[in-house]
Amino acid sequence: MQRRVLVALRPVSPVERLFAVGASLSRRMDADLEVLADPAHPEWSAIESRLAALGREDLGCRLTPMPGLDARRVVEYARSHEGVISVVVGRPAAWGAEAADGLWARLECPLVAASDHPDLPREL
């Protein structure tokens, strides 16, 4: 079983910041990087290109299309797939009412907030 870090990209997510955090975690934890994104994401081709570049840098990468990506689907995916050691999102609270209702607490691995720093743009 290969360990992996999940990065969940919404259309409003800071893509480069999430990739930087996800790739860094993957390298430090000797894990692959898996990106969950809606195929309708406005930067889909850039996401594919970024993953290809990371793959050439000896990082195992995979892009998983997830139409209608929401917090519930991210948590269910992480819980139902072995080897997920962390989930990276921009701002956990920005995922709407489901996230506010404690949905992220159902993860069985750490949740990493990649853009909660006050100098980074807000997702909402």
| CATH number, position 61 | 3.40.50.620
Q: Number of C-alpha atoms within 13 angstroms, CB side, residue 115?
A: 25
Domain membership of residue 37 (yes or no) is yes
pLDDT at 81 over 80: yes
Total of domains in the chain: 1
Q: Extract the tokens encoding 107.
A: 């993860």
Rounded to the nearest 5 degrees, what angle is found at the Cα of 63, between the Cα atoms of 57 and 64? 160
pTM of this structure: 0.88
Domain membership of residue 25 (yes or no) is yes
Measured CA to CA, the distance from residue 7 to residue 21 in angstroms comes to 9
User: Mean pLDDT of all residues in the chain?
Assistant: 87
Residue 66 belongs to domain spanning: 4-89+106-113
Which position has the token pair 């850039």? 46
Domain membership of residue 67 (yes or no) is yes
Domain membership of residue 121 (yes or no) is no
Other C-beta atoms lying within 10 Å of the C-beta of residue 124: 10
pLDDT tens, position by position, 20-60? 999 999 999 999 999 999 998 888 999 999 999 999 988 99
